[in-house]
Structure 1
Amino acid sequence: MSDFGTALPHPARDAALIERLRARRSAPAQGLAAPGPSHADLEAILEIGLRSPDHGKLFPWRLVVIGPQTRARWVAELEAAAPTDKDRAVLRKLAAPPVTVMVVSTPVDSPKVPLWEQQLSAGVVCMNLEHAANAHGYATSWITDWYAYDPRARALMGLRDDETVAGFIHMGTAAEPLLERPRPRVGDKVERLP
């Protein structure tokens, strides 16, 4: 007996989606401004993010939507704890965007699914959130930075010792046009076996 639900329709070729994916690019987090996702858009974006591949149906992640009061408090406390001026400066990436979702990898004890696969699933949640936000018309930036790893910052953010930040997914409107950057060529990164 399968614990999968009803059959979904087979996806049709979607030229607009293909073009959107071919042109996907990140925005500088500190250059994201209002408007950000509305409540309804954010709920849809989160729902899409939760449809990510997950070996064993473990859901080895959690999402934290960081509201403006929490963001301001975190930035103030992190400024005081930042080891260097450069570390203080990168806090603009956390302070500027109108909406931020912290994706946390939460390991589940499983004899079948190794930790690495669970962490990959959390990474896919990050990418699905980006794609969903882009499809709703918002620019995004997926980053971590020093505060994802600093013990004092992790405590401030309420992370357990066994949890890791897969990413801060920042969403908003790009203040400037997004510029293309160098990309690898398929022939340089793909090996084809007979």
Structure 2
Amino acid sequence: MMKSCLVLVLFPVFISGCCPPKAWTGKNFANYASGKVHLEILQDVFYDNGMMTVHQNLTSDDGTLTRQTIYLNYLTGIQYVLNGDGRCENSSITFTGVGESCIPDNATISKSYIGAGANKIPTTMFRLIGNGFLTYLSVIDNGCVPLMYETTGTLPTGDGLKLTVEYFGVVAVKPDAKIMKMPASCMM
């Protein structure tokens, strides 16, 4: 159950003319709820042209902390989850999102801004429906930088899902190659 939460946290789907940088790093905070599972997740995200590495801390309602690193390869459609004990598990990427593609043309668009007066920053909110999920994604217009992402829907298990992700510190920069390299235990 924990592993399926990981993928969903990372990925709003980009569409229409708004395309994220080919390489970027940032942080996000996510609040995930599905069935009896509720998690607060803090992530360091590194994306480079089809590959994403995520270092995350998941905290459950009972205070249990789980540390993981996820390696996502959008070119092959496979993700690898490295658990704190060194075990590495792989599975298909079933929910796509930030980083790997542009926002589709069928998204509903709402224009807005953050701030006031001369300091306001233009933003756009996209409403998307796909893969059984209703998603709202807000971005800063200059650079298509993600701000906030919210999705609701039904998982393949039949459980409902609600996920909210807030992004901060997003920078269009190529991550260090050492961060992007999977450990040998994930390549077996």
Highest RCO, 1 vs 2 (Cα 8 Å, sep ≥ 6) = 1
Greater helix fraction, Structure 1 or Structure 2: 1
- Over alpha carbons, which structure has the higher Rg? 1
- Which one has a larger percent strand, Structure 1 or Structure 2? 2
With normalisation by structure 1, the TM-score equals 0.26
Give TM-score, length-normalised by structure 2: 0.26
